[in-house]
Chain A
Amino acid sequence: MLNHPAFSNEQEQSRTITGLIESKYYANDAIAVMKVSLGRENVKAVLAYHSAPEAEAPQIGEIWTFTGQDETHEKYGEQLIISESFRQHPSGILLIKYIHYHIPGLGITKARRLWTVFDEKLYHVLDEGDVDALIDKKLGNLPLDIANMAVEKWRNNKIETETVRFFQQAKLSTSLAIKSLKFYGKDTIPKIQENPYRLLAFASFQVIDKRARECFQISMHDSRRMNAAVSAAVYKAYDAGHTAITEKDLIQSVKLFSELSKQEAQQAINQAVADQTVVVSGENHYQGRGQASMEKFIARKIVRLLCITATKQPAYHNQKLRTDLLAEFEQLNDFTLNKQQIQAVKIALTHRFALIQGTKGVGKATCLLALHHQINSDNGITVQVALSAHVTKRITEVTLTQTITIDAFFLKVSEEPLPDHVKLVVAEASMIDVPTMVKLLRVLPDTGSMVLVGDSRQLPPVGPGLIFHTLSCIPNIIPTVTLTQVHYSGIPSAAQSIALEQKPVVAPFDKTLSIDEQIGLYHIPASPHDISRTAVGLRYFIRNWGKVQIIAPTISLCDDINIQLHNSYRSDNEGNIKPLVRCTKSIGLGDMILCTSNLHNKGLSNGSLGQITQVFESAVAEKSPDGEIELYYAIAEFDGQKISLSASDFANIKLGYCIPCNKAQGLEFERVIIALPDSTLLDNSWIYTAITRSKKQAIIIGDIQTFYDHCCEPPTAFNRYIALPILLEDSLDGKIT
């Protein structure tokens, strides 16, 4: 690609053309080779994005002006190498092609006829939206619906083109223009002229501030700038997981963004409060308007559910724990629920909003089994959801109740709303962030009920807020049962010690023990430099001991371990080199892989783990589940399902021998190897989550003292600033209605 003429530095006389993009010969992230129609002739134009950094990808059917140099390539022939590009509103005879491309039902003959009839006046007709002229039998002779569509498309294109041009002149990207257009429509230009910091919703403060000051002459102390600095500080906190921010942190952050003094930052905050850009939540805490609205919604809905329980209940929710069904359940399953478990089932049955929490091995799944038994026997309706596909599979297995992903659940309720008296059970609820909770409560009818089940000692959600962890700490408001009775020794016992911020019992790893004796928590000492090598060696040593997963705190350590394991498995038992997947650099046959995004069309979610089972010598064209033809390079097995993977899928797939702890949340393996360097990412919750991913054995590699130190400290998850408890109390006091 570097030899392509588009990357040439030769200087020749340039020319400018304006034409319609008819088709693309070739396009990728770096280059686009296009057929550009100038009306009567076509030009092959080559746009290399590095030579035109502000350039956006031209789309087929759009009109663009290109400036560049003509070159004759020995293989590709004559072509225009573009140095400058911008999108245009159609002009001259190009209009014919433009309307033919953009208005379905208007063929090239009809489009030409319009030009013959109206000539240059066609612009005026479209600008003025003169539908009468377009449908007049002696003039345009178009059907009414096509004439209306033509006027609308023309108007939208004009607004879009003018807006993109305005943004380009302000040295702002086209993607910013498109995002702004989505919300401000025809008012985009005046809105941005009035306050360029409105763009803070789409880009960083630094980017917008630079352009606002350079192109819109906004002064350092302009109230719009100061207000934006406050919003930027709130957004920064939100991106770090906080839904609220302390006054001290807010002042500090505003100072950093705006380069204002402390006093000026305080003034900016006061002004932002007066303008309701931020709101005061509790003592010395602030929230962005959006963050406050989300948490207020959650608080209001929970209180509404709880208060209806106290006053007016539908018959179903008044259901008491049926002891006959409980006895039946215990007899069927041949075990007895302990008092805590019975209490958990009871609150889940009798309250409209309830929470069951507990560490690993305390029998949360058993409670759900018993709960479903009670509800199903009474013909009640439950829907059980969990965040990701791999978690739902495990929850379905342990609770014997179909569990669907939250994404699939939202899709389902968009087609058919939940029934009135549904009980929505959310498993692994510690992973639920604020936006997901808003969406769940939004689709839950006021007559429905919700049970959250999870473990508050686990890592906080990847997204913002701290729903489950917070609600589990206020049993005076939220009906909560904490299960503490551990049912198994080994990992559950170690997990409970860590949850209590105590040192767990750790044994030195002894490779001479039989597999059956390899149960519980073990340790292999290793210096920081030796951790990855030791983890790789151990993974190889125990490769036949069932499902094994390595977990590490940093991406770089994960990558290091992954590439070492990939290289060590490069040849098969007979010494033959295993083939690599053609569209990747380091994934080959037999490799463990991790999906890093939600690939809904493939049924894969962020965190799905699989293994490459077949690699194609050359790409195979097949219909994708969406019905489009895709080129597949390999087949992988995810949870027993074979899935064909394309090049775009591989953009979201990494080696998965070693994964970060947040990707392992909700998963379980027989054995877990924990690569443990000293890292700022480590804390009690991280250690707890990593260890509790194992059913039988967890082996820690690293410094044991570092491990003990983190076990004995309080989890940093609770360091997130949130306003939910205050808002719940306010809501209960009737301050929020």
Chain B
Amino acid sequence: MAISNQQIAQQAVKRLQEWIDSQPQVPVYKGRINKTVICQKLNISKSSIGSNKKLKAMFNDLESNITSYKVQDIKGERERQLQKKVDSLEKQLALAKKEINVLKNRIAINDYLLETGRMIDA
């Protein structure tokens, strides 16, 4: 059975209310609530905020009371995660470089042995 637009709008309001009631970590971006992330999370079309007055009021209310919620800065989090990844990759790179140097040294020692018959005492 097809659902009417009105029902969709009501369900969206219901989902947002339930989510607000659950005292969630509110995603923010540059100090404002991140509507895109919230809408994605609750399966609400972002464009419906403009057409659904209740939804719009709820978001405005959330915005003005943001200090009473725990916030989650998505971009900052992503940056932290990326930095973590960079650190880990840098560590891996340093290890790989070290390993390459060890192998290069081993090759040089081996080549020197073939060239001169002399062993380099490590």
Binding site for B on A (CB under 8 A): 182-183, 195, 198, 200-202, 231, 235, 238-239, 288-291, 293-294, 435, 438-439, 464
Contact = CB atoms under 8 A, between A and B. Distances in A.
B109 interface: yes
B114 interface: yes
B1 interface: no
A201 B116 contact: yes
Interface string B30-62: 000000000000000000000000000000000
A202 B118 contact: yes
Given A183-B105, A183-B109, A294 B121 contact: no
Contacts of A293: 113
Contacts of B119: 201, 231, 288-290
B117 A183 contact: no
B108 interface: yes
Given A183-B108, A183-B112, 9 more contacts: A183-B120, A200-B118, A201-B118, A202-B118, A288-B117, A289-B119, A294-B113, A294-B114, A439-B114
Nearest to A195: B121
Nearest to B113: A290
Contacts of B112: 183, 201
B77 interface: no
Nearest to A288: B119
Q: Which 9 A-B pairs have the closest CB atoms?
A: A435-B114, A201-B118, A290-B119, A238-B117, A290-B113, A198-B121, A183-B120, A201-B120, A289-B119
A435 B113 CA distance: 8
Nearest to B114: A435
**Which of B105, B116, B119 counts the most chain A CB atoms within 10 A?**
B119
Given A198-B121, A201-B120, A290-B118, A182 B108 contact: yes
**Which of B114, B118, B119, B121 counts the most chain A CB atoms within 10 A?**
B121
A464 B121 contact: no
Nearest to B101: A185
A235 B116 CA distance: 9
Given A183-B112, A201-B112, A290 B117 contact: yes
Interface residues of B, number: 13
A183 B118 CA distance: 13
Nearest to A293: B113
A377 to B, nearest CB: 37
Interface of B: 105, 108-109, 112-121
Q: Is the interface of A mostly helix, strand, loop or mixed?
A: helix
Contacts, number: 39
A438 B114 contact: yes
A235 B118 CA distance: 7
A231 B119 CA distance: 9
17 contacts: A182-B108, A183-B108, A183-B112, A183-B120, A195-B121, A198-B121, A200-B118, A201-B112, A201-B116, A201-B121, A202-B118, A288-B119, A290-B113, A290-B118, A294-B114, A439-B114, A464-B117
A233 to B, nearest CB: 13
Contacts of A200: 118
Contacts of B116: 201
A290 B112 CA distance: 10
Nearest to A463: B117
Contacts of B118: 200-202, 235, 290
Contacts of A183: 105, 108-109, 112, 120
Nearest to B119: A290
A235 B119 CA distance: 10
B59 to A, nearest CB: 41
**Which of A198, A201, A239, A464 counts the most chain B CB atoms within 10 A?**
A201
Contacts of B113: 290, 293-294
Nearest to A203: B118
Contacts of A435: 114-115, 117
A315 B115 CA distance: 37
A227 to B, nearest CB: 9
A241 to B, nearest CB: 11
A235 B114 CA distance: 13
A339 B112 CA distance: 45
A183 B109 CA distance: 7
Contacts of A290: 113, 117-119
B121 A239 contact: no
Contacts of A294: 113-114
Nearest to B121: A198
A291 B118 CA distance: 9
A456 B120 CA distance: 33
A491 to B, nearest CB: 36
Contacts of A238: 117
A231 B112 CA distance: 16
A201 B112 CA distance: 9
A301 to B, nearest CB: 15
Contacts of B114: 294, 435, 438-439
B35 to A, nearest CB: 36
**Which of B108, B117, B118, B120 counts the most chain A CB atoms within 10 A?**
B117
